[in-house]
Structure 1
Amino acid sequence: MKGKVMEESTLRIPKFVLPPVGHLSYIMLSEKHQYFVRKVKTVMELKVEIAKQHQCSKNSVDIIDECSYVPHLNQMSVECLSFPIAVVLHEENRSATDLPSAMHSVITADPDITNPNEEDTRIKMSCGHAITPENLFQYVSIQILQFKSDIYCFETNCGKTWEVGEIVKNSMMNKYEACFYKQRLKLNKRHKDPSCKNCPTCGVLCKRYSAKSPMVRCNNCSKFKGINFVFCWFCLDAWTFDHNCGDGHLNPTQASQVQEILNNCEKITVQYSNVPNVPSLRLCPNCMLLIEHAEQCKEVLCVSCKTSFCFICLSVKPSHGKLACGGYNTPCNVAPIQKLSSLILN
């Protein structure tokens, strides 16, 4: 679409072409060109075939899960892969001697911080410490797969952050590696976002756009699996019209998880009535949906069953009338943390 820029993680062939019979299709990260390769059984066999096409070592090929941005295991069946398959071709020679002349000024004779006996040409990072492009690439690769969103110099008493552009340039990443690295960093930052959780169906991070609603829609399931999947932010169950987080359908493990959420939630002060030490999460007294307090008023409305109740004392508002504990700014007694077992029995 003219004027619209798609993220690299969502790049797809504009018009998907089915591969010939007996073949698989794949694309390189950062590219839209579609390749075809003889159909094989495992990821390892697929790497071998792709390496033949591009005249490189099979160890230079990674098959990538575009949802979680991790390389697939060699023994994995290709039947489990999404199509077209995403591929990264790695640099086979990452020597600083091959740097463009404009970067020769960063070459240094200082010892490598990973190995003082390293003989390969080193590059001086912005913090002043030296490392070879290959050692830098290997270090960064480990860090991003451990969900690090900031990469630091690990020399003793340094700890300075290395910027993305500096890492890409000094580790001599090609365009495929740089695409993978940047997308993985974005994913790592989202993992730290308290408004994101993993979809219980596909595992992709999903964002909760409103603290007033526990309903979360997985765009990945909708786009690539053809299903409109909505789940509960708190218990991660599939959302239904009359969904609740604590009725008898929960198995002991799920019930224990819901109770743990209640037990460990933070305490807040409900502003208008100025009542402190109120649990920030409550189960709806009627349908047992987990609700997070997001307003200044003590009266809340359950989005599932439409029951109004006091978040402080848990008294339920009658269909026609007011809360028995008083108006929005009237203090009342704080009800203790709810016990799921007693609510189910009642």
Structure 2
Amino acid sequence: MSTQEQEEAEKKYDPLDTTLKFVDRGDDLDPVSSDFFSLRAEMSCGHAVTPESLTQWCRSQLNEGNYKFRCPALVDGITMCNKLWSYKEVRRLADLDVEEMQYFEENMARLAVAEYCEVHSCPRCKTSVERKNLSNLCVQCVVCTADLKKSYQFCWQCDKPWKSPGAGSGRCGNDGCVNKDLQILWTCKTISLFDVVGVDSCPSVRACPVCGLKVEHNQKYCKNVVCPRCKEEFCFVCLKLKRICCQTSSPFTICPDGVAPRQTSIPVWKKKITGK
């Protein structure tokens, strides 16, 4: 038996596991697999999946920046099921091995943290440091401050020790300190949106107007994109939110204001804390 065959053989449900509900049918319940002859287990939403298809779908969601897994099956061929699957359910039904569990849990934790706060590794001790003031490049590492018995501050942008005398300054005082994200926005190539009438020269990278995350357009379909971090949908052409842009133009025509110029600053995300 080859290594691949061994891995596939290990990736099976335990038929003796009485906590799982198995279905053996050749229908279209599996939302992400076309293999109609594999034994499936039923998810909490009622749709059934194989271990392979569930792992594949959830991994693709992680790669797109989503740490909450929802069922992609179509109901009546039109509406997505979209029911939330708990990680406990995914871990058990996907039959993840140790390496896969580590990959899932590390990335889920990273994405969850990024949703609520700005975290960066200290260049000296490598511990995670949170930046509470998103407009201040100067951050202090409490671990290094305790270790050195004096304040240790570094630049969020270039990772070098902070030199500027004003802790609230937007410049650290180090030569060559530049915002790499801004550089990308300034120098990225231009693209055409083939399905949008009148858009033949648009910057290929934009900063989300809500949270500042760099976003690219796949050059297919309409001009609107959904930010993978804040989930806001905005027009890639004029940089207005979709609900505003669609008041004056359709998703497949150029905006009345034309193509917005290259961005010279990155929006700071003003997150809404709900207390939940």
TM-score, normalised with respect to structure 1: 0.39
Larger-Rg structure = 1
TM-score, normalised with respect to structure 2: 0.47
